[in-house]
Structure 1
């Protein structure tokens, strides 16, 4: 055992004790975070306009501070971007994490001196918790790769601006720098396809032990390695011990990953975003992620089916239930207040509080009132694949409300790595699994409002080509699982497989 791996094991035990302390006191932990946030921001422009000095309870907060998404909070963020101080949080941000937006174009998410360490600690503690749980620590001596955005930053009115993963790259501790790949020069390559080729060139000769990234883009990396070497990933990297991922549900990719790797590799799921590092998988035998309650984030939750009502109830951590679809609302030490992140989550446990990401409040299919969410389509596909010899690279679902003949239906756009022997039987089984997942969908099928789903096959690499065509080919971008219109369906037409 090396000095580094031995030290990691000792440090891991200490960190895990601290995690258990706040996880076992969730309500008290969140109350402390809430009071700290209100007190620290009471003299900001936002705090004064929302009477923070009179806020003592969550009830006070919910009455004074309405739920806002980025567009609604943008007048304040615009002032922060203009380099005004003390607007949403004391002082000015250290950075802006720039992300692709919707109606407002690019989004500028502030990262402050208070919030930045929580992003770093989230990833670090996820790995240390894994070491403490499993006793596995040899991987810290090998090479580690993190498929991420360029660390090159611009400047917005004197405030450094870049992608979150690129900003985080500046905070890799010195003891990991020698182990970390790709090189700084390669990481700065903007073109994603060129970057992957450069990463392969750098990593092939190395003893890779940890690989991290969004599954779809790690899969692209693995496939290119296999094409060049004609070997499985475990043959190319026999020291590969741990896969770390986030951004999308891994289950639709798991079978393909096992095939590419040649065996099953332990994994850790993370839930990071520019707005905060929210959760990480703390148990190997439990797919739920531990919600980080002590990380400068106060959480509220609104039931998804009540979200569009006039005055939906805003639940705190002590009031939530398992297996209910909630919209997650956050207030943070970066100055986001009652902020609608857009994600929906479900609690899998309340002792401790573990979650899974069920989808996006704006990403659903409900042309007929069925409100199908990402968790449901992903689970239905997983169950279907498990009973066939098929494997899937990528997929997306959209409604077909105006078919040329017959009843409307849900159309599944699937890029198969290995097609099922009988595509019609596969579609029928997938539809049956969807009916089990969503009772409204079952009623629509049984009531002859919808006919069973239809699969449209997408050509190999079709989704990659689609993402490139819309300027979103890269390690932080994800294909939308669900749509309530035909925009993605129509954009995919050049890659329909005959």
Structure 2
């Protein structure tokens, strides 16, 4: 077993050298990716429709290939789903990652023979870079759990279909198969609550060293472990030292996790999606995730506050700046072209290029021109709770426009683990912190266009019950932090007040 940890360190050194080689030449690396993508796809239906044969530069590409979201790309995807070859990428995809779309119904994201390895390599490299920089490798000898979707796949016109996490489950390296938890039988359980109960039974007596998943659902697993055993997670798993997560910001959960675990553990943030594995945290002491520049993904960036203009400027990596909110646009070896995945990012470093996910371009509040984003509300809440013993389980924010004889406001729906003594005082602290971060919001409050935010307390398990009611409990599903309307909270308020 010591030998496995030793080999992990050797592999980590090699991967570090490889990553440094392309991260030290970011613009050149991206130019090579771009040229390879155009060359490979020039004879596809999409390539012919968009004159790939005439595209030599990014300026050519921006001229011929408009930015699209899934709905706009859907006519091409539907042809692939029906079994047609050479539509978006040569041949047929190996898989479709099926995701839940808000406007398009089910979304079928192609994963090709060329793109699949990049998902696996990036996840592996994230762990290896942690080993390289921390010197810690003993955890590879213990049990590892990955809370994910079912690996059961269907088939449609010769293409396998499933959730991304279920597809990836088929690619766990042989040397980790004996370490991997839960069992295949348990992993195939569809009902999330039943699945977590089964995972608790399988893992409560094991030497778990690595736990991975979206924080909100890992929290459920931890709480069920404690309920079952009466012990903190850290006492159950003495050698648990590494938490790997993605999908949401961990910071709002960190204090809660440390309480459930009983101590601090290292963490690695990942930025995976069905459309590609975009970034991972490569160093523990640096803010942001290393953007994957050599993984068959060409990146463009549009300033978020210009995104809805008629012809927003499309920037490449060499043009970006620190701290600006960008909509990330991708073109990939899976056949996604100038594709808007809906995420907004900010660069925290340009040497090398590191990003944080700041929110979703559709998940914001700008009912009055304030354009408040997810990163801002999360940091405002953290700042407000910093000198309090109150703790938050989950929250979401929506505008309250229809008021009688008072100014409109932002309404925060918060489920507390421990309620503060003074709810109005917490609201004031959050509001002041938000004003500091967002100058538009500050102007609206100071100009008496908006009144300070108000908090609605949510009953225990309220958000869990909501997610269950809309069929999005567990797996890779995430509750939006922000909405520009009240579709979520009006439904939720009704259920809460019944």
Matched, 1:47 2:29: no
**What is the distance in 2 between the residues matched to 1:410 and 1:324?**
24
Q: Name 1:56's counterpart in structure 2.
A: 56
Tell me, yes or no, if structure 1 residue 164 matches structure 2 residue 187.
no
The CA deviation at 1:41 is: 0.5
- How far off its partner does 1:495 sit? 5.2
- Runs of 4+ with deviation above 6 angstroms: none
- Residue in 2 aligned with 1:215? 215
Q: How does 1:390-469 map to 2 (within 5 A)?
A: 390-469=390-469
Q: Deviation of residue 293 (structure 1)?
A: 0.3
1:229: Cα distance to partner?
1.6
* C-alpha distance in structure 2 between counterparts of 1:494 and 1:394, whole Å: 18
* Distance in 2 separating the partners of 1:491 and 1:389: 30
Provide Cα deviations, 1:91-111, integer angstroms capped at 9, x if missing partner: 000000000012221000000
- The reply to whether residue 86 of structure 1 matches residue 86 of structure 2 is yes
Instruction: Name the structure 1 match of 2:314.
Output: 314
Give the distance between the partners of 2:495 and 2:378, measured in 1 at CA: 22
Shift of 1:497: 7.7
Partner of 1:360: 360
Matched with 2:17 is: 17
Q: Distance in 2 between the 1:497 and 1:206 partners?
A: 42
Partner of 2:270: 270
Partner of 2:253: 253
Shift of 1:363: 0.6
Supply the distance in 2 between the matched residues of 1:229 and 1:384 (Cα, whole angstroms): 33
Maintained 8 Å contact 1:458/1:497: no
Following superposition, the deviation at residue 494 of structure 1 comes to 4.6
CA contact (8 A) 1:456 1:496 kept: no
Q: TM-score, normalised by structure 2?
A: 0.99
- In 2, are the aligned partners of 1:369 and 1:440 still within 8 Å (CA)? yes
Stretch of structure 1 that moved more, 151-160 or 328-337: 151-160
Deviation at 1:156, TM superposition (A): 1.4
**Post-superposition CA distance 1:124-179 (Å, at most 9, x none):** 00000000010000000000000000000011122100000000000001100000
The alignment partner of 2:334 has SS state of coil
CA contact (8 A) 1:363 1:373 kept: yes
The alpha-carbon deviation at position 375 of structure 1 amounts to 0.5
Query: Does residue 281 in structure 1 map to residue 272 in structure 2?
Result: no
State the superposition RMSD in angstroms.
1.0
Question: Are the equivalent residues in 2 in contact too, given 1:457–1:497 (CA < 8 A)?
Answer: no
* Distance (whole Å) between structure 2 residues aligned to residue 104 and residue 213 of structure 1: 26
Q: What SS class does the counterpart of residue 399 from structure 1 fall into?
A: strand
Q: How does 1:123-162 map to 2 (within 5 A)?
A: 123-162=123-162
Instruction: Show structure 2 runs of 5+ residues with no match.
Output: none
Distance 1:433 1:156 in 2: 50
Partner of 1:206: 206
1:98 aligns with 2:103: no
Q: Give the equivalent residue in structure 1 for 2:182.
A: 182
Relative distance call for 1:497 and 1:7 in structure 2 (3 A) is: farther
Structure 1, unpaired ranges of 5+:
none
Residue 243 of structure 1 aligns to a residue in which SS?
strand
CA contact (8 A) 1:114 1:334 kept: yes
- Give 3-state SS (helix, strand or coil) of 1:130's partner: helix
State the partner residue of 2:121: 121
With normalisation by structure 1, the TM-score equals 0.99
Mapped to 2, the partners of 1:102 and 1:235 lie a distance apart of: 41
Give 1:385 deviation, angstroms: 1.3
Q: How far apart in 2 are the matches of 1:213 and 1:340?
A: 25
Give deviations 1:195-224, integer Å, cap 9, x for gaps. Answer: 000000000010000000000000000011
* Per-residue Cα deviation, 1:256-296 (whole angstroms, up to 9, x for no partner): 11111111100000000000000000110123000000000
Partner of 2:338: 338
Whole-angstrom CA distance in 1 between matches of 2:103 and 2:237: 44
Write the mapping of 1:290-301 to structure 2, written as runs, cut at 5 A.
290-301=290-301
**Is the Cα contact below 8 Å between 1:327 and 1:342 reproduced in 2?**
yes
**Contact 1:213–1:244 (8 Å) recurs in 2:** yes
Q: Identify the residue that residue 389 of structure 2 maps to in structure 1.
A: 389
Distance 2:393 2:22 in 1: 39
